[in-house]
Amino acid sequence: MQQDDIRDRIFASTLNKDHIGKNASLVGWLEDFRDMGKIGFVTIRDMTGNFQGVVVGEMLSEFREVQRQSIILVKGTIQETRAENFKVEVKIEKMKILSTAVNPLPIDPTGRVKSLMDKRLDCRALDLRNFRISNIFRIRSSVLSLIRKFLYSKMFIEVNTPKIIGSATEGGADLFDFEYFSKKAYLAQSPQLYKEQLTLGLERVFEISPYFRAEPSHTVRHLSEFISVDLEAAFLDYVDIMDIVQELVISTINDLFVNHNEEIKHFENKPAIMVDTIPRTTYQKCLDDLRGLGEKLEFGDDLSDPALKKLGEIYPKFYFITDWPTKLKPFYILEQENKCELSKSFDLQYGYLEIVSGGTREHDPEKLENKLLEKGLNPKSFSDHLKTFEWGMPPHSGCGLGFDRLMMILTNSSNIREVVLYPRDTDRLTP
């Protein structure tokens, strides 16, 4: 009873009445054992779900020795069950322990005994034995594949740009630096410059990758390492990109909630996020709305956390904020014609949470150089980038979508750490 049985195993979720009377082998971890004296009921879980086993006679004493969460291989006959939660049950005739779990375990993966998030993250691999939690990562995987499918359908190709970079690309102080063969190098904070350059030869690119920010933020929405879905497209402007983002978000949600019901059904509070369209408001309108709520901000002020919380009350779901002041946006964002104080830019928000930020890019090399100077950056540090703008750079636009933040919304999680396997923040560097 070993590898052949494991190879022929039946997965928990596929067990059904057609199997009644047949012999089967199953593997999984022992989640529960209810010992009633003459009969025992075991719950065994595998990656697809759980099944009930019934044990009597000698099998009972064998199961009394097994620590919960140990990995076991069982063989038996599938039979009818009276249990409400199962279609059938397995009358276990043979059992082999493949790996023993210690007792007590540091956390209770069944979730019956609650643990603080920090403790759970310290034991993340075990935490994933909780089906509700592992499901978040199944959904995450599905959403990634849906995003890829959507972007391919819009003629984007997936690219990979370097994460070890030689100059502080976008400016700003939030870069991690380190020694790289006696030179100073940085971890990329975004693929901004590369993705813009790639529109020159590839027109439409996207990248899904981790980026690194050395911001000392202690919030439920910031990590030092996060996944961003970056797009960049030649010949499109920021309104076209907003249209693409809107379609991407709506089609991903619809696809997830319609075709991936199995994973979603385990969420107690399915987020009410299915929408047909995403409203668009301007930065100025937000200032006016906020003034009505007693939050006085001047044109040019960034929307502070308290301001965003208040805006989230007016717009609790997805909404775009467009036409940001030029001075609030990075050097590569284009200004509006005849209104240079406004930029061709947008953010996609979900309530208070910023999900996407994007815009039309400056593609005139001379103006780009001036923008760098205006922002106090040294054009010499950008010479590799600036030279590409002299090779026939198409007008282009793009955006970056915070994938972990999108996952917070899709799984109704209030802390970004819940949707990231091994989060990195100012305090956490392990496991």
Among 45, 363, 371, 405, binds ligand AMO (CB under 6 A): 405
Residue 112, φ and ψ in degrees, nearest 5: -65, -45
Q: If binding is defined by CB under 6 A, does position 400 make contact with ligand AMO?
A: yes
Measured from the CB of residue 101, what is the shortest distance to ligand AMO in angstroms? 34
Interacting residues with ligand AMO between 160 and 199 (CB under 6 A): 190, 192
State the Cα–Cα distance between residues 245 and 13, nearest whole angstrom: 35
372: tokens are 């760098």
287 vs 107, 292, 303, 336, 401, CA distance in Å? Answer: 47, 9, 9, 19, 24
Q: Which of residues 337-366 bind ligand AMO (CB under 6 A)?
A: 354-359
HSE, CB side, 13 Å, CA atoms: give it for residue 411: 28
- The residue at minimum Cβ distance from ligand AMO is 402
Q: How far is the CB of 416 from ligand AMO (least distance, A)?
A: 6
User: Using CB under 6 A, which of 222, 266, 270, 317 touches ligand AMO?
Assistant: 222
Q: State how beta strands 318-322 and 280-282 pair.
A: parallel
User: 26 vs 334, which CB is nearer to ligand AMO?
Assistant: 334
Figure out which of the listed residues 204, 404, 408, 417 binds ligand AMO, where binding follows CB under 6 A.
404
Identify which of residues 12 and 146 has a Cβ nearer to ligand AMO in the complex: 146
Please give the order of strands across the beta sheet that includes 280-282. Answer: 157-158, 204-212, 225-234, 396-402, 353-360, 345-350, 318-322, 280-282
Closest contact distance (angstroms) between CB of 391 and ligand AMO is: 21
Nearest Cα to Cα of residue 299 among 312, 309, 286? 286
Which has the closest alpha carbon to 354: 399, 410, 308? Answer: 308
Site mask, ligand AMO, residues 225-264, x = CB under 6 A? -x-x-x----------------------------------
The two beta strands, 157-158 and 177-180, are unpaired
Q: What angle separates helix 238-259 from helix 131-153, to the nearest 10 degrees?
A: 130
Q: What would the two tokens of residue 408 be?
A: 């917070």
Pick between residue 74 and residue 242 the one whose CB is nearest to ligand AMO: 242
The least distance separating ligand AMO from the CB of residue 190, rounded to whole angstroms, comes to 4
Size of the site for ligand AMO (CB under 6 A): 21
List the one residue from 28, 53, 171, 402 that touches ligand AMO (CB under 6 A): 402
| Shortest distance (Å) from residue 230 CB to ligand AMO | 6
The H-or-E segment that residue 251 falls in is: helix 238-259
Measured in whole angstroms, the distance separating CA 107 from the mean position of its chain's CA atoms is: 24
Task: Please select the residue that binds ligand AMO; options are 10, 245, 399, 407, rule is CB under 6 A.
Answer: 399
Span from 27-35, 68-76, 152-160, 396-404 in contact with ligand AMO (CB under 6 A): 396-404
Residues that bind ligand AMO (CB under 6 A): 190, 192, 213, 215, 222-223, 226, 228, 230, 354-359, 398-400, 402, 404-405
